[in-house]
Amino acid sequence: MFGEIEVVSLVREAITRGAHERVAELVDAYPLEVWFGMRPDEFQLVVAEASRSRAGRTGTVALFAPVFVASGIVAEPLSPEGSTGLERDLHVLAQAVATRMRGHAPEAWARVRGIGLVTDPVPRGVDPTRGLRAFALFQAGFTASLAGDLGEAMDLYAKAELCPVPKSLDFLRRHALVRHALIHALFGDRSVAERLERGLLTAGRTDSWVEQEIGAETVLLRSLLRPADEAEQAFDAIAAVDATAVGEMWPFYLLGVFRLAVIAGDHVRMLGVIDWFDRANLVGSGGPGLPGSVLCSARAVEALLDGDARRARRALRGADKDLWDIRLLAAALSLVGGRTARAVRQLEELASGTARLRQAENLRVICLAMAARADGDEELALARLRGLAPHLDPYATAALALLAPELTEAASTRLEGWPRPAATDSGLKGLRVRPTLTDREFDMLKALARGMTREQTAEALFVTVNTVKTHQRSLYRKLNANDRATALVEAQRLGLL
């Protein structure tokens, strides 16, 4: 048995001697030690060197070759007929990683989710795969996250954290730990993210190049876990991260930085984040799954926060309609359009998609509360918000304050423990949900627009003046108005006239 450094030294020595068979044998026996012990560009050359031998065309070298197809260094390998179960799993894994790197995460996830390395129980003690199981679980977890299956991703990362690995490959477990924590920091339970982050403090570092990626992701994680009033410091910390270390994780960086901009109420930074990632033309940005939809989602959120529902609808064209956040935004747009019954139905159907993601569930419940208030039922709106107060996250707090400031004020006044948003003056216009009006309230609105008095309205509708007063009060409440002029201005802005 060799350590990581010894294996790498032996491979380099064999390359210098032109011993292709020896290079292939070493890579075949210690693929992860060689892969992660060398710089990526050097490892690509090793694969090219090893593939010249007969062993390199039939062993682990050939199985991992698809990962490097995009670079043109090696060709797609043939399916390893007659190979062992482990080799078949590695073949499928390699094909899935190559598919994901070409921007097709959902297809890659469908390929890899059923292989034995992913589905079999984690062994106790020594794992005979020498880290390949942990590697497969980590890659499957990341693929699931890019496909939008965050619950499965968390389960696979947790499984990878428990997997025995050689000491030189301990970074596999640490990497799974930080990505597991990032899902919780962005969408799940912040307290779980904090617990996982503390676990990073006790884990040892290695000399692998992957430590740079882990370090960059740890900075993002810790920035997201800062208190809301430290959003500016969080921005500064992330700005210092080397952009080359982001790689395929770019959708999570975009989400993280964009959320910090929302928390800080910084509209300029929101637009800057979207613009930078849009121009970068990153892997998968035009395809299915999270990479193909994350920019659509960010644009739609920015547009909603700025009170432009039409622009938000345009932003969601082409987004993956199966992703929970896209479904949530579709419900929000139904709400903005005054279709509260449809919005509530969409939000109720979304419950299973947000059940394991506390912060996502916070946003879903907030939209339900906004729907109740749009229907004129503030008590129901506050009842829905009441259970959120103990674990409301900074992003949801800021989003509600920008989308529905009146509801935020009511919650702050009447709900014990309701947090105040960090930002108070964002420059954003905010979202005004179009209220659902009854037929009688529409009649009142039309009468107001025609300049009719209460008596004239009562006579035209064959009702009493008191009935007109009742419907007008209800109309004014829904339009957040105290007089005829304000009601008419608001009705025109909302497209009700």
Per-residue pLDDT of the chain (497 residues; tens, 9 = 90+): 455 558 888 988 988 888 888 888 888 888 888 888 888 788 877 777 777 766 555 566 666 655 554 443 333 444 545 567 888 898 889 889 889 988 999 999 999 999 999 999 998 888 889 899 999 999 999 999 999 999 999 999 999 999 999 888 989 999 999 999 999 999 999 999 999 999 887 767 777 888 889 999 999 999 999 998 898 899 889 888 877 778 899 999 999 999 999 998 888 888 998 998 888 878 777 789 999 999 999 999 999 988 888 899 999 998 999 999 999 999 999 998 888 999 999 999 999 999 999 999 999 999 999 999 888 899 999 999 998 988 899 999 999 988 888 899 899 999 988 887 765 555 555 555 667 788 888 899 999 999 999 999 999 999 999 999 999 998 998 888 889 998 888 887 666 77
pLDDT for 83 equals 62
The type of residue at 418 is W
pLDDT for 145 equals 98
pLDDT for 366 equals 96
Intra-chain end-to-end CA distance of the chain, in Å: 79
Distance of alpha carbon 107 from alpha carbon 112, whole angstroms: 9
Can you state the angle between helices 454-461 and 439-449, rounded to 10 degrees? 130
pLDDT for 168 equals 85
| Token representation of residue 396 | 């949801």
pLDDT for 23 equals 83
pLDDT for 22 equals 86
Distance of alpha carbon 49 from alpha carbon 17, whole angstroms: 12
pTM score, whole prediction: 0.83
| Token representation of residue 419 | 């947090």
